[in-house]
Structure 1
């Protein structure tokens, strides 16, 4: 049966069935592997040439969440969980025979993919197999398709909390590890696999390190924001730990209104010295590439990038990866009107090929709409960046339009709404809703200082930024001030609940996806490995309990006056489902209309297309009734 045709002429299933393709990785022979949700959940697919009919390699209903091709042979490792519970298991897949072999089989533990060994005979990853609140480092022999994989060998006991394998040394005897204390504070250190000793390379200052590569000249190439408000490509000495900026460095603040931006992705090929990186310019990507010249500072060199031509990116580029001999560069591309797909370009070329062209299920181009980037002033005079999108054919200055509007608040909070392809947004635009997507204080993408503006006792300032966004909407002639919807996921769900308790008069309805209702119960019940990381952002149970109670939406729930839709997954390890249950019960006791949708086979994200369709059909009906 076709999905229900609504006011926009298109049902939600048409939008949600538009494929999402990402995570490109090349095998040594040049085969491109990707993740695609063509079958309803992300699975591994391959295509031999641009636009060719792809072949599906993994046949499961559970989502595949990570994919990495071997550096030495035609095989790959992928990660898959059960019921979106994030307890990933790792599986090896031999492309020559199609044989799959589990590397891990411990469904109560979370296995976080790390890196292949340089010879393709081992992999390294972290897992909380011994203690739910502690990630340790494991190295495991992959073995041949005719034999079982080796047993996981624990090579390092972690200090507690989240730990990540960032890189495997080119000689196979070292691992680079990162330990996150918070979203903007990481330790970086090297583990010697022979001795078990570690050596810290970070300097104790607040900084992040990602996309780490051994450069072959005594250094690590990475994206870091050490001693900078914004992130750049840096070369970090393995001897002294000193960092030398290589590309993308700017000593200005990245706060809204400036032109200092974060580097947010990096690919590097050690044999050729070729690298590629992207810069996040107000949410949109610029792609850069070149050849690394010069050694690390300790060797007396000044690392730099000799640039080459690159394609213009109309939207966002991510997941950069080089193919064999760095002749080709693949990346995930999306824009507000272009679904996620994988593009490939030749190194030094200014043109890219869409390797995985994604259709739109017969929807015309007129059904997809670009946002306008705007800024609005908030309570303290600061400018808040946002994306503003109107439905088709609307005159923004016509007061007779009287449109309903959705204020869509991102999660994180160390996250950024960007102009990517967002099928449910396009669906609501076609139903006649305008959409405002603010990057309130605390968002990433605008430098470290901006990201810290909502920490702990400043938490509610970001909620005030949402209210200021509604004030801006009140100044838009085409918007009906009495039909504004608060809408958000995860931390964005907290922001929704906080907005309707702190500013109840502003909202006609609210939609909360997997949101935090009470910071104390959230921190008590979230995954053990996450608690200290989240306390660094929100405040700790030990030191800030009363404050956390005070700002929790559940404490002020009597203020809620608008109808509320609450969605959650029973398997959510991040924000436990109890958050949804307690807020729904409290609002219902007030006599305010509440609708809940809890999936027993989902977690923090709804990953099944069937469930997504049910979810957004229910939300659309809820908004039709109340807005």
Structure 2
């Protein structure tokens, strides 16, 4: 195994009330994730997690309180607390297990907003606790799947996002804490529309939220909580999101996969970034008295680190290390599918440049390739491989129409995009005969479709956490989630014949190139049986298949050591199988 993962940092929260800013940040490295409180020149590690993912945190440094949310491989969460004693030393203050629950929002003052699976099958109830898990108060009992939300600054109201009937279709409801059966729906809409995290004004009377209601791209609107009246504030020909830092709105722009952050109160002045890249969107951003923004930034050549950004001064690195790779920037390309759909892609040139290519498909499918740091892509580029990352139809970031092109049984149309990508490799100076295919999650399913749908032009393939048989996958999905999965794959009731016809598992004998399947042992999203069964069927048909089970991991591999193992497995497989990395 090779060590290919440099350390990275992520900002959880910042407290700028004192003489020097205090940071709550997590360092990810091979030995796990360590959470630090950094204030001035002092730094204290308050917790270390080897087998859990850090999901968020909040800090009140002057009061000596820090809370961190962590999640295990099966999705179980807990809140870990730390306090600072009179000598200035940080120590553990116990933890709060949350069996069956997921933290929607966490604030030391407002409390914990927790979604819990209801006794009513297919529904979620929401509760508010104080920061130590006491004084449980019911917030919502309206049925449906609540997947996000936020507490008002005084903790008396909650704005919740509920999954609706269409793809990426979201409903916004507001509830008074203690009145669970009287939710108020806001921004009612007939056509499916997505919404982002609702942001409360300091007085609790207004919500700011991003939504693509009646628009191709997400815009920012304000909603009066009492009257329900909403109006547009800002819009552009790209997706944007909004956050409030105290009472200052900050706009997060997604411009062709790159971040741009602007201040509407300063005539749209933009924060200066270290280079082209991505600024993570925090739940509660922090700006200091000088208007400087504390954030997590990453780029194609640099893992995530914590920065302080200004609109009129160079950015400042706040974490003690930053690893920068001597790799060139990716560049944009567009491929035209046979049905004239224009498919955007990023091309990541290898160093030294060779003719080998690897095409990588993201999951979702409602995701997007960003100008971010991807360790597998960097490892392949260092081997001289050029990586192509297309956003097949169904991806977000390119408008509502584009992400709706693969709904239901139409998801197979993305194979037109994939064939067009392979057909464009020669134009990019790459060797189509030395091109491998890699797919994550839903992208893994699309990769298997590409291998089994009538002959494959790829030299090898890798599937990570992918579905191999949509029929058995949908049948095993819980009833309240199944309708939403069917929006992606097709209906068990109406499309069974189609699903069986296209199922990679039912066509495993068509796999004629070396195949590597990698899956998490504890995957709660796509059960590991999907990989086991596909491996058995390909092997029985005489195919060349390898199966790697990542022990102790779920759908996404949390440990840095697991991510390093994945990269080793993939690069070694491609080098020895004659696919892509020769």
TM normalised by structure 1 equals: 0.84
CA contact (8 A) 1:504 1:562 kept: no
The 10-residue stretch of structure 1 (124-133 or 406-415) with the greater mean CA deviation from structure 2: 124-133
Report deviation, 1:288.
0.5
SS of residue in 2 equivalent to 1:625: helix
The answer to whether the aligner puts 1:191 opposite 2:175 as a matched pair is yes
* Partner in structure 2 of residue 238 of structure 1: 225
- Rounded Cα–Cα distance in structure 2 between residues aligned with 1:156 and 1:221: 21
| Among 94, 100, 104, the residue aligned to 1:113 | 104
CA contact (8 A) 2:435 2:459 kept: yes
Change (3 A) 1:542 1:286: same
CA contact (8 A) 1:375 1:383 kept: yes
| Among 593, 601, 610, the residue aligned to 2:552 | 601
Report deviation, 1:309.
4.9
- Rounded Cα–Cα distance in structure 2 between residues aligned with 1:461 and 1:238: 42
SS of residue in 2 equivalent to 1:458: helix
- Rounded Cα–Cα distance in structure 2 between residues aligned with 1:156 and 1:596: 44
SS of residue in 1 equivalent to 2:143: coil
The answer to whether the aligner puts 1:590 opposite 2:541 as a matched pair is yes
* Partner in structure 1 of residue 206 of structure 2: 219
User: How do 1:252-401 and structure 2 match up within 5 A?
Assistant: 260-263=237-240, 265-270=241-246, 273-291=247-265, 306-312=267-273, 314-320=276-282, 321-323=285-287, 327-346=291-310, 348-360=311-323, 365-366=325-326, 368-394=327-353
Report deviation, 1:551.
2.6
| Among 48, 59, 65, the residue aligned to 1:59 | 48
Q: Any stretches of 5+ residues in structure 1 without a counterpart?
A: 4-11, 144-148, 251-259, 292-304, 395-400
CA contact (8 A) 1:310 1:351 kept: no
Report deviation, 1:189.
0.6
Change (3 A) 1:95 1:536: farther
CA contact (8 A) 1:373 1:386 kept: yes
CA contact (8 A) 1:69 1:77 kept: yes
* Partner in structure 2 of residue 255 of structure 1: none
User: How do 1:89-128 and structure 2 match up within 5 A?
Assistant: 89-96=78-85, 97-106=90-99, 109-116=100-107, 119-120=109-110, 122-128=111-117
| Among 134, 143, 154, the residue aligned to 1:159 | 143
SS of residue in 2 equivalent to 1:543: coil
Report deviation, 1:69.
1.1
- Rounded Cα–Cα distance in structure 1 between residues aligned with 2:143 and 2:216: 28
| Among 409, 424, 436, the residue aligned to 1:457 | 409
Change (3 A) 1:365 1:621: closer
Change (3 A) 1:187 1:103: same
* Partner in structure 1 of residue 386 of structure 2: 434
* Partner in structure 1 of residue 39 of structure 2: 48
Report deviation, 1:324.
5.8
Report deviation, 1:306.
4.2
- Rounded Cα–Cα distance in structure 2 between residues aligned with 1:41 and 1:522: 32
Cα deviation 1:436-459 (Å, max 9, x = unaligned)? 110111100001110000111211
CA contact (8 A) 2:217 2:239 kept: yes
Change (3 A) 1:80 1:283: same
| Among 442, 455, 458, the residue aligned to 1:507 | 458
Change (3 A) 1:553 1:241: farther
The alignment of Structure 1 onto Structure 2 pairs a total of residues equal to: 563
User: How do 1:4-83 and structure 2 match up within 5 A?
Assistant: 12-13=2-3, 15-16=4-5, 18-27=6-15, 29=18, 30-38=21-29, 40-49=31-40, 54-69=43-58, 73-82=63-72
* Partner in structure 1 of residue 74 of structure 2: 85
The answer to whether the aligner puts 1:405 opposite 2:357 as a matched pair is yes
- Rounded Cα–Cα distance in structure 1 between residues aligned with 2:300 and 2:365: 22
CA contact (8 A) 2:57 2:69 kept: no
User: How do 1:171-186 and structure 2 match up within 5 A?
Assistant: 171-181=154-164, 184-186=168-170
